[in-house]
Amino acid sequence: MDVSKLLNSFLGNEGTSGSSDKGQSPVDRINAALPGGFAGGAAAGGLMGLVLGTKKGRKLGGKALKVGGMAVVGGLAYKAYRDWQTNKTSGTEADPLNLPKPPADSGFDLENDQDAAGRDFRLAIMRAMISAAKSDDHIDQEEHDRIREQIQEFGLGQEEKAALFDYFSAPADANAVARLARTDEQRAELYMASALAVDPDTDEEQRYLAQLAQELSLPVGLKDHLDAEVAAVHRQVST
């Protein structure tokens, strides 16, 4: 399976900043990367644009992922995890999208990590985001049809197409997402990805996050640190 190509189809572009972005703030890069608004769907943000572009909270998390790609998840989760370990306050930084990359031996190396079944852990992150975004049943049959049409247009191989069809057709399932984790660090990353994919103001999605935290058996207090980093991202991309 070509994981990089599959992830690019989900995120829209590479999900990383090119050389022309040097000197730009994260918000400037957001505006440059998303002409016409994130709600424009796959043309603006890949399949993620279709899934996350329907509510304000999801759009904010989606913008962050559009700018930094999967690296945003690892950086934010690592910051929250370290703050939790050292009893420091999380979510106070002004530029959470530009957090330093976690050390390679930190357990937060998304690009080189495997899930509980030995698969590329970035796929688990993508599954977590899709599951969380579907937790309020907002994706109706028409939107499912649009997603299927878009998958067909990406020029993916049969294995990549089949994986995406499976991910999008599966119901929201916090337990299934939790089973993907192999380490406590991965549990923090799965929760972070899920929290970025929901609207924080809806009861259904908050219940899903609470259930996910329980299924992940997150240590006491860690969820609060992860939530604080998500809130910091929302503040940054909404200004």
Render each residue's pLDDT in the chain as its tens digit; 239 residues. 888 888 888 877 544 333 334 444 433 433 333 333 222 333 335 677 666 655 554 555 556 666 667 788 999 999 999 999 999 999 999 889 888 899 989 999 988 999 999 999 999 999 998 898 888 766 666 667 777 887 887 778 888 888 888 888 888 999 999 999 999 999 999 999 999 888 777 888 889 999 999 999 998 899 999 999 999 988 887 77
Q: What is the pLDDT of residue 26?
A: 38
pLDDT of residue 65: 66
Distance CA 192, CA 104 (A): 19
Res 55: pLDDT: 53
Q: What is the pLDDT of residue 180?
A: 97
Beta bridge partners of 120: 114
Instruction: Assign 3-class secondary structure to 108-177.
Output: CCHHHCECCCCCEHHHHHHHHHHHHHCCCCCCCHHHHHHHHHHHHHCCCCHHHHHHHHHHHHCCCCHHHH
Query: Is 163:157 a contact under the CB 8 Å cutoff?
Result: no
**What pLDDT, on a 0 to 100 scale, did the predictor assign at position 50?**
67
**φ, ψ for residue 218, nearest 5 deg:** -60, 135
| pTM listed for this prediction | 0.83
Domain spans in the chain, listed from the N-terminal domain onward: 3-237
What's the confidence (pLDDT) of residue 225?
97
Would you say 223 and 213 are in contact if contact means Cβ atoms under 8 Å apart? yes
In the block, tokens 């240590």 appear at 219
Dist. CA 102–CA 111, nearest whole Å: 11
Instruction: Report pLDDT for 31.
Output: 36
